[in-house]
Amino acid sequence: MWYSGKAHTHGANLQGVMDPTGFPLFISNAEPGSVHDLTAARIHVLPALYAAAAQGLVALADLGYEGAGIGILTPVKRPEDGRPPAPDTRAFNRLQRALRCLGERGFALLTQRWRVLQHVHASPSRIGDIAKAALVLTHFEHGRLT
């Protein structure tokens, strides 16, 4: 169950929410590596993002979250007939990638600062607790505890 076909190894699926600057705000509990990203997001993250979307805030996500629902913007897929996307679509995808890379910074901030998150050899059920502890330490380190 903890084996991820995507990574070809055992692991966990963690979902996170980052602020617009890329600072991590939330890390979910660990789901087995075999759980799809969208399924894990529906369990842990999307209910809060839907509430934010109702207030006019949108979230950016990659193609793995296509069909996530209201307020979750994903890139537009290439047309099935092989034609290149329209210029407006390419511009939208490029802009979204440029903004989403800031969100990816949050995961980089956690995994590069806390070496234990780079190659976790603990029980898979503890990975979420370790990631949450790293999140709290990162908030403390950057003076963001409230």
Determine how β-strand 9-10 pairs with β-strand 24-27: unpaired
Residue 65 lies in a domain: yes
Residue 146 lies in a domain: no
Tokens of 131: 């990631």
Contact present, 53 and 70 (Cβ < 8 Å): yes
Tokens of 115: 């070496």
Distance CA 99, CA 112 (A): 21
What is the model's pTM? 0.84
Residue 29 lies in a domain: yes
Asked whether the predicted pLDDT for residue 65 surpasses 80, the reply is: yes
Q: Which amino acid is at 27?
A: I
Tokens of 136: 């709290």
Residue 7 burial (C-beta neighbours within 10 Å; 0-12, 13-18, 19+): exposed
Residue 18 lies in a domain: yes
Domain region containing 73:
3-141
Contact present, 138 and 109 (Cβ < 8 Å): yes
**pLDDT tens-digit series, residues 12-59:** 889 999 998 999 999 999 998 888 899 999 999 999 999 999 999 999
